[in-house]
Structure 1
């Protein structure tokens, strides 16, 4: 089709909404993402730029044009735009403090979301309603209820949605899943996810908001609180921010913005464990904290102190999975996943995959297509490119929201169990906590007025 005859993005989105079918999405998107001309590269924008924001932006530049950036911190916003020009030789992207200006643009096909976790759901839902496909960093949600909402909107809008559990696009982990599914360790009996501990913090005083940071906008859906920070500075890309604070790099340590180490590294390793077990459409029956330590004292599940980190620092949580498989999530030992079956065991992390079943591959290799069967097609080590392939085909990528949420429910429930210091029973069909009204209140969280999710 000649360029002059192509539908505008506004025509495409309005037509797709009116027809409401996958066929319409596939047809129109095939025209938008024609592969023959460099001018047909999809247009992306990144919202939230520290840490993973730059990592996924850099990955996207391999196959897209990143035309816009958004961040509530003017310092990292400007630094990232300059970095794209100097290091990647791109045209300088448009920059915005308010992400909604990105969503208003008709020329942007997809957004990459790398904000703190408490912003993920609101931005993702609004992006889908604005006709954008989505890549959102892990953990996808702050609560179990948010996961259910995102699933509803994906289904309603037909958007393609990739979660940033990029270990699903790394060979070590794909091979690990293939080994388990091929029966190389017999019947799987136990899987241990080592996800490292968090450190507690000293008392963190109220401090002046750093110049260039819109603190109220950073808080967004979370409760209004003062900015806190200690003077020690953390270096690195986009550095010059406090090492201890209730924002920037330290947000994962606070219940209001994240789920601590459990939903940070847990979202990676519990995901691979769940993928290998094959329980991506169901879930656990019981979650039991064997031992744990919180960063500060809690009462009725809420931290008493307001001036220090409050997530779990050390823990061992036992999870009863379907088929009698036992999952152990712990903060000590090697970071990675140990699979144990009736015929052997092996360990995998980002740097290695070791054990006798792995050694046996030299004489008895996996079938040539074993990893492709796990991955659902040709393996790409670029997780963002896997999204782009899904956008072209109008199919969900390797880290879809449904399997991610089933896994993340384990992490959320583990956090609830530790905060309340008791075992929880879970109905994986109804996706509800059984017989514990207090624990059930932790499955959802109300957004601050003015930052509600309109869905």
Structure 2
């Protein structure tokens, strides 16, 4: 890939973070939010890397946290930059702050801003590693969307760099901050249903090969920069990968970026929802920072579902947690003394007395067929539009801001995000190899399995001059 000095900052200059020539830094006076006066010393100033619909949803969460200010944004789509800037500045006006949100195409320039304390990385998965690593090296704390990484090696290096630079990193697996999931974890760990034998964790299908036709690249999109380190020659522009928007008249994305569903650009539902449901399952059984030892793909040696086997004997399968709602994402823990079911907005247990009334919700299985259909359709619409996440995301973001101030680990630290991302990669790796993959979670190694070591989901060669 050809790069010019205009489009790529000198690496030594970037990593050195020269204090000279930094102009136009935002100076913020004391201000009040929700009746709370925020002193400059308590303020956390954010920059956004990525300005799509997930960024807008997350901004609603961050903007509700006292003491947070957003001063800059970056995106490879100039129209999305402008939309985000307009959204932020309208909010700033409402808070009595002089409106200013600077726009960038190159994220390295945003990271040079000395007035920015932390960034949110809310870009496609293949960019998470480089942007998070560079942010940590630039002295920024990071809130990075899930899944943490595109490959296993990326996850490992992200952990090392974050810790070496003593940065706070929160992974956007917001179910960690949601009451029904926290209670489910507590019940499992307290032995409420005895010894856990099985876990059903429904997340969805693995990715498929890219089959979208190539289309002309719009002038507002730098698709070459969107590609970044990806080096697969089969990848080309299609609006499903980078959903277009309109500013006049205002029109938002009609779908989530379909890069998630193709193996050249994403890791499918395995990682997209696995970063939520597999994540909670591992937390409940004490496998944060660890993982399975054996991964068996669906259809291999009679396996009905993608299967993860742990050294403690627990078996987790990617299968419906509700038989009559086979596509609904959720988890069922099965112990020798009962069961626990948990999904967004619902917590159930074989012993109903263990479930607080405010967390129970309505058990989907007890809904009428019409109610179940409507609930599922509404969930799918919310996912497609990027809505419906503010209520459960805001506490997760507040936890991150608290951690930035206290310098303590957040509820979903980078080590947790890494172990979950690795699990998701292992699931897709076994599926693609069409055989069992054995993994040592202690040494994070495949032993003598050369095919696994050389798999693209362990590591791939970055394009051009991009280096991990």
Range of TM-score over shorter length: 0.7 to 0.9
Corresponding residue for 1:307? none
Corresponding residue for 1:69? 73
Corresponding residue for 1:129? 137
Tell me the distance in 2 between the aligned counterparts of 1:73 and 1:147: 26
Aligned CA RMSD, in angstroms, stands at 3.0
Identify unmatched segments of 5+ residues in structure 2: 1-14, 17-35, 321-325, 360-391
Corresponding residue for 1:346? 340
Give the 3 Å change call, closer, same or farther, for CA 131–191 of structure 1 in structure 2: same
Q: Secondary structure at the match of 1:432?
A: coil
1:196 Cα deviation after fit: 3.0
Match of 1:356 among 346, 350, 357: 350
Give CA-to-partner distance per residue, 1:316-360, whole Å, 9 cap, x none.
211101311111123744310111101100211112111323444
Residue 273 of structure 2 is aligned to residue 265 of structure 1: yes
Match of 2:451 among 434, 438, 450: 438
Give the 3 Å change call, closer, same or farther, for CA 190–103 of structure 1 in structure 2: same
Tell me the distance in 2 between the aligned counterparts of 1:134 and 1:336: 28
Tell me the distance in 1 between the aligned counterparts of 2:350 and 2:306: 27
Corresponding residue for 1:277? 285
Give the 3 Å change call, closer, same or farther, for CA 236–72 of structure 1 in structure 2: closer
Match of 2:435 among 400, 411, 422: 422
Identify unmatched segments of 5+ residues in structure 1: 1-12, 15-34, 293-314, 366-378
Match of 1:327 among 305, 310, 316: 316
Give CA-to-partner distance per residue, 1:228-259, whole Å, 9 cap, x none.
3579988899856686xxxx711112223221
Tell me the distance in 1 between the aligned counterparts of 2:119 and 2:188: 34
Q: Secondary structure at the match of 1:433?
A: coil
Match of 2:424 among 411, 429, 441: 411
Moved over 6 A (4+): 198-202, 230-238
* 1:190-205 matched pairs, under 5 angstroms: 190-197=198-205, 203-205=211-213
1:203 Cα deviation after fit: 4.5
Tell me the distance in 2 between the aligned counterparts of 1:283 and 1:411: 10
Match of 1:155 among 160, 163, 166: 163
Tell me the distance in 2 between the aligned counterparts of 1:229 and 1:354: 41
Structure 2 length as normaliser, TM-score? Answer: 0.75
Structure 1 length as normaliser, TM-score? Answer: 0.77
Tell me the distance in 1 between the aligned counterparts of 2:192 and 2:242: 50
- Count of residue correspondences: 381
* 1:36-115 matched pairs, under 5 angstroms: 37-40=38-41, 41-62=43-64, 63=66, 64-86=68-90, 89=94, 91-115=99-123
Corresponding residue for 1:140? 148
Corresponding residue for 2:395? 382
Query: Is the contact between residue 240 and residue 258 of structure 2 (CA under 8 Å) also seen in structure 1?
Result: no
